[in-house]
Amino acid sequence: MFTEISEAIKKKNFNLVNNLLDEFNENHKDTFNFNCFDKENSYKWFWDLMFHYVSQDDKKVLHKSCLSCIRLLSRDKTQLIESIHENHINILLESANLLNDSLCIFITSENKDVIIESLKCLCNIIYQCENAQIICCSNKTVDCLILRLRTYYQCEVPHDIKYFDIKLLFLLTAFNNELRMKISKELHGITYLMEVLDNILRNIIDDSSTNKSCFNEENVSLSCEILKVLFNLTVNPICNPSNDDDYSTWVRLISILRDLLVTSTYATIHQDNIISNVVNLLTNVPPQCLDQLLIKSHWTNVLALNVLIDFLDNRLSTLQVLYENVSPTLIVLLKGSKAISKFRCSVRQHILPPLKDVMNRPEQGNTLRNKMCRLLTTPNVNLRDLVAELLFVLCKENVGRMIKYTGFGNAAGLFANLGLLNKTPNPDYSSDSEDSDTDEYLKYKDQINPVLGCFEPPKPNPFECMSEEQQEHEVMQLVCKMDKLTREGVIQPCKIGDDGRPKPIEHVLQLQEELLSHFNNTKNRDNSDDVNDY
Contact 358, 455 (CB under 8 A): yes
115 within a domain of the structure (yes/no)? no
Domain count, the chain: 2
Q: Residue 336 in contact with residue 343, Cβ under 8 Å? A: yes
Among candidate residues 408, 430, 455, the one where a domain is terminated: 455
* CB neighbours of residue 479 within 10 Å: 15
Can you give the pLDDT at residue 316? 94
Res 124 pLDDT > 90 = yes
Q: Which of 428, 455, 482 is the last residue of a domain?
A: 455
Residue 276 domain-assigned (yes or no) = no
Range among 162-171, 176-185, 196-205 with highest mean pLDDT value: 162-171
Mean pLDDT computed over every residue of the chain: 84
Number of residues that make up the chain:
534
In contact, 21 and 13? CB cutoff 8 Å: no
- Which residues, 6+ apart, have CB-to-CB distance to 358 below 8 Å? 440, 441, 444, 448, 454, 455
Residues 473 and 451 in one domain: no
Mark whether 491 and 449 lie in a shared domain.
Answer: no
* C-alpha distance from residue 388 to each of 333, 349, 391, 456 (Å): 13, 17, 5, 24
State the pLDDT at residue 530. Answer: 42
Residue 408, domain member (yes or no): yes
* pLDDT of 236 strictly over 80: no
The secondary element (H helix, E strand) that includes residue 454 is strand 454-455
Looking at mean pLDDT, say which of 206-210, 391-395, 398-402, 493-497 comes out highest: 391-395
CB 292 within 8 A of CB 233: no
Which own/partner contact pairs does 513-520 have at CB distance under 8 Å and 24+ positions apart? none
> Is the model's pLDDT at 529 over the cut of 60?
no
Which residues, 6 or more positions from 364, have their beta carbon under 8 angstroms from its beta carbon?
370
Please say if the pLDDT value at position 432 is more than 60: no
Given a contact cutoff of 8 angstroms between Cβ atoms, the answer to whether 165 and 145 are in contact is yes
Give the residue, 528 or 298, on which the prediction is more confident: 298
Taking residue 62's Cβ as centre, other Cβ atoms within 10 Å add up to 20
Q: Do 488 and 513 share a domain, yes or no?
A: yes
Bridge partners, residue 454, by sequence: 449
Q: Are residues 372 and 449 in the same domain?
A: yes
294-306 per-position pLDDT tens digit: 988 766 677 899 9
Residue by residue, DSSP assigns 469-516 as: HHHHHHHHHHHHHHHHHHHTTS---EEE-TTSSEEE-SSTHHHHHHHH
Give the model's pLDDT for residue 284: 94
Residue scoring higher pLDDT (298 or 74):
74
Q: Is the pLDDT of residue 245 over 80?
A: no
Give the amino acid at 469: E
Phi, psi of 37 (to 5 degrees): -90, 5
Alpha-carbon dihedral 266, 272, 277, 279, rounded to 10 degrees: 90
Q: How many CB atoms lie within 10 A of CB 317?
A: 11
Poorest-pLDDT segment among 127-141, 182-196, 340-354, 400-414: 400-414
CB atoms within 10 A of CB 30: 6
Q: Would you state the pLDDT for residue 533?
A: 35
pLDDT at 532: 40
In this structure, the answer to whether residues 400 and 445 fall within a common structural domain is yes
Residue, of 151 and 418, whose pLDDT is higher: 151
Q: Is residue 531 part of a domain?
A: no
Q: Determine which of 33-37, 103-107, 497-501, 516-520 has the lowest per-residue pLDDT on average.
A: 516-520
pTM comes to 0.83
For 475, counting Cβ atoms within 10 Å of its Cβ (0-12 exposed, 13-18 middle, 19+ buried), the class is exposed
Say yes or no: 449 and 489 in one domain: no
The Cα 381–Cα 389 span in angstroms is 12
> What pLDDT, in 10s, does the model give residues 12-68?
888 898 899 999 999 999 988 888 777 667 888 999 999 999 999 888 899 999 999
**pLDDT on residue 211:** 46
What's the pLDDT band for 244 if we cut at 50, 70, 90? low
User: Would you say residue 278 has pLDDT above 50?
Assistant: yes
Same domain membership, residue 449 and residue 401? yes
Residue 91: inside a domain: no
Give the contacts of 496 (CB within 8 A, at least 6 positions apart): 421, 422, 502, 503
Q: Is the separation of the CB atoms in 362 and 406 below 8 Å?
A: yes
pLDDT at 345 over 90: yes
Cα 424 to Cα 408: distance, rounded to the nearest angstrom: 16
Contacts of 3 (CB under 8 A, 6+ apart): none
Residue 352 sits at φ, ψ, to 5 deg, of: -125, 65
In a domain, residue 445? The reply is: yes
In a domain, 162, yes or no: no
**DSSP state for residue 239 in the 8-state scheme:** S
pLDDT digits (tens, 9 = 90+) for 132-158: 999 998 889 999 999 999 988 888 889
373 and 448: one domain? yes
Among 430, 455, 480, identify where a domain stops. 455
Q: What is the pLDDT of residue 430?
A: 61
Domain match, 374 and 436 both: yes
Beta strands 494-496 and 454-455 are unpaired
Structural domain boundaries, residue 513: 469-520
Query: What's the pLDDT at 397?
Result: 87
Give 450-504 pLDDT, tens digit per residue. Answer: 788 877 787 777 777 888 888 888 888 888 887 788 788 887 777 777 766 777 7
Q: Are residues 480 and 440 in the same domain?
A: no
